[in-house]
Amino acid sequence: MRLITRPGKIVGGEINFDGKRLLQLSDAEMRQIRGDDIAMIFQDPMTSLNPVFTVGEQIAEALRPHRSSRARPRALPL
């Protein structure tokens, strides 16, 4: 997902997804893939979800940077 920032760094290897070499993509190309084709679900439930907001709203919040106004309908049940 290329979420590693300083001081961390990728020192070797390849990351391939759907025929694309992710380490060679631009930031804009990675933004198009993140949230739509690849997503990260962090495993600490105490910090992942806020009980004040619905689960659907929190999922929509993660989708908004990638899908703009379409995030809410995709995240919430009919």
29-47: per-residue pLDDT in tens?
Answer: 988 888 778 887 777 766 6
Average pLDDT of span 50-61: 81
Cα distance between residue 22 and residue 25, in whole Å: 5
Q: What pLDDT is stored for residue 61 in this prediction?
A: 78
Q: What is the pTM of this model?
A: 0.51
Distances (CA, A) of 75 to 3, 4, 19: 23, 26, 27
Place of tokens 């940077």: 65
Mean pLDDT for the chain overall: 77
